[in-house]
Amino acid sequence: MSQTVNNTEVMRRSSKKIPALIIHAVIFYAFWACWALVIRPPIKAAMNGSLLFELFGSAVKTLVWVVPAVLLVKHFEPECAVGLKQMFTQKVPLKAVLIWSLIFAALSGGTLCTGILHGTLHINPEFSLTNNQWLLFVGITEEMVFRGWMLNATAKNEKDWKMLLLNAVMFVCIHFPGWIQKGMFVSAMTSFGFLSVMLFSVLAGYCFLKHKNLLLPVWLHMLYDFMLEFFAA
């Protein structure tokens, strides 16, 4: 009898998971577009782009991205591929961590390779804590939403390529407001730069589902972005 009740509860929650995904995605994308294009710019100007503003922006992103995703995973945990506690406690072999780190370092190494080949590699002079403290938050915020929640709630395993590709498309789309605000949207599309973002997403998603640990893609995300920001050719 209890097993029947449990199965009924699982089916009931499963029937509500997709509507919850859609509603969350609509609100999430709409708010983030408004934040990036309308709300953030005047606040940044008023605060002169200071470290305090950057910390404020990171706090807003954590509140908008991480908190709802954690609550959704917790609510729909029986229908997710990886449980909330498991994704932060599942052990990953050190060998796997090193291999994935090398893969993501290579994936972000276009500037590094160009600089080495031409003998012009140097540290980006604009790199500073004020401009790049977001590196400490970007991994957990973006991975919690796109891998920890959206992919986790739709993919069955690391071989579910349709969901990995769909997740990659959604990951690219969340970058649109930022690219538009920075005047990078057209160049990102015409140069096919968005494909590198899709590849990043597919690999991060595969890594998450294979090892059932979110902290690994969080680390890889931080490493990838750090390499892009720290080096210049």
Question: Tell me: the pLDDT tens digits for 181-212?
Answer: 999 999 999 998 899 999 999 999 999 999 99
Which pLDDT band holds residue 95 (cuts at 50, 70, 90)? very high
Please give the structure tokens belonging to residue 82: 């990886």
Quote the Cα angle for 180-172-45, to 5°.
Answer: 35
- The pLDDT, as a whole number, for residue 11 is 55
pLDDT band at 80 (very low <50, low <70, confident <90, very high): very high
User: If pLDDT is split at 50, 70 and 90, which confidence band does 41 have?
Assistant: very high
* pLDDT value, residue 54: 86
Strand 231-232 relative to strand 122-123, pairing = antiparallel
pLDDT band at 7 (very low <50, low <70, confident <90, very high): low
